[in-house]
Amino acid sequence: MTAVLTGIGTALPPVTDQRALWDGYFRDHFAGGRAAERIFTGAGVVRRHAVVSPLDQDLSGWSTQERMELYDRYAPPLGHRAVTGALAAAGLDPADVGQLVVASCTGYAAPGLDVRLAASLDLAADTQRLLVGHMGCYAALPALAGAGDFVTARGRPSVLLCLELTSLHLQPPTPDVQQVVSHALFSDAAVAVVLRPGGGPGLELVDTTAVTDPTTADHMTWAVTDRGFRMTLSPRVPDVLAKHVHATVENLLVRHGLTTRDVRGWAVHPGGPRILDTVRDVLDLPAEVLRHSRHVLREHGNCSSATVLLVLDDLLTTGGLRAGDPVLAMAFGPGLTLYTALLRVT
């Protein structure tokens, strides 16, 4: 039995123009620094989404408790919309769901978002739940692997929701360049996918793989502070990824008798323009194959764990894929960790 991704649902908060964010808020927030403006204009982002835009309300001085109260307000309805859309796209009812997996690193409560959604969706009382927290941008792929394992072992559908509200973690003013980078990139989104046992059109989950380089653990962090969650994002991240991308991808593909030239769809997490350039160069890929990743970065920003699912959705919608085509998804995050997933169009 195989697990097949058969439905995707998205829910996006209001959109904000990147230039308007700089002119209307971040120019003053970063004291009009030229370096900060260059980072904003060079981030590859044109539009982003936010449940709370700094143009409307400045959260930079808020406590973590106050921010978590906002997460508890905004996350459940956004997640509900995404899951409802995914179930409709897959032709399933809530009663069909055997497992609900929720991945999020931007908010916490107990009972958690998974419990809130189980109630609002009217899932059966015996629906199994799994909450994947604080893994960061790559969380969608290990969560997808876990959901796929449930489907193949139990023969019942699983729903995965990746929901991130990074806008709630606006930090106090600082000259730290790493903070400028994170504030220039990150965005809010909720994306849900349905996996069901074999058969039907969609994407079969073939295999996943991971590599973590703990010697570079300080290059990317996501720390809980008294003023929300604070990102550390070293400019050395692309260089570290360059050391691992080729071997990781090659090992995954070789296991299935494939090479990079056989892959017909690439869903690479757009952590930023340099990361996409690094993947392109290390794997010697034509620039065109990463257009879906760049499109998502341009139109939605970096939505942490939800981003690679947005790229998959764009790829399925506009990528011209055909039955049998291999698809490779890739995401990166704290650790430093690189996750890949091989899928096949059914």
DSSP-derived secondary structure for 93-161: -GGG-SEEEEEESS---SS-HHHHHHHHTT--TT-EEEEEES-GGGTHHHHHHHHHHHHHHH-S-EEEE
Please report the pLDDT score of residue 56 as a whole number.
Answer: 97
pLDDT at residue 1, rounded to an integer: 85
Alpha-carbon distance values, 246 to 84, 204, 210 (Å)? 37, 23, 12
| Mean pLDDT rounded to a whole number for the chain | 96
**Short-list 294, 289, 255, 292, CA closest to 274:** 294
The whole-angstrom separation of Cα 108 and Cα 322 is 40
pLDDT at 73: 98
pTM over 0.75: yes
Domain that holds residue 313: 203-345
Report pLDDT digits (tens) over 162-205. 999 999 999 999 888 989 999 999 999 999 999 999 878 999 99
CATH assignment of the domain containing 268: 3.40.47.10
**Domain end call among 135, 169, 197:** 197
Mean pLDDT of 202-220: 95
The pLDDT score that the predictor gives to residue 175 is 86
Asked if 189 and 210 sit in the same domain, the reply is no
What is residue 271's DSSP assignment? S
Share of the chain above pLDDT 70, in %: 100
Residues 185 and 235 both lie in one domain:
no
Pair 142, 208 in one domain: no
Residues 274 and 288 in one domain: yes
Q: Which of 49, 55, 180, 146 is nearest to 106 (CA)?
A: 49
Last-in-domain residue among 166, 197, 228: 197
pLDDT value of position 233? 87
Residue where a domain stops, chosen among 182, 197, 212: 197
Annotated catalytic sites, by residue? 137
317 and 252 part of one domain: yes
Q: Average the pLDDT over 275-279 and give the result.
A: 96
Amino acid at 188: D
Give yes or no: residues 24 and 159 share one domain.
Answer: yes
Category of 317 on φ-ψ map: left (φ > 0), alpha (ψ -120 to 50) or beta: alpha
214 and 328 housed in the same domain: yes
Q: Is pLDDT at 230 greater than 80 in this prediction?
A: yes
Q: How many CB atoms lie within 10 A of CB 158?
A: 28
| Total count of domains within the chain | 2
Is 90 exceeded by the pLDDT of residue 33? no
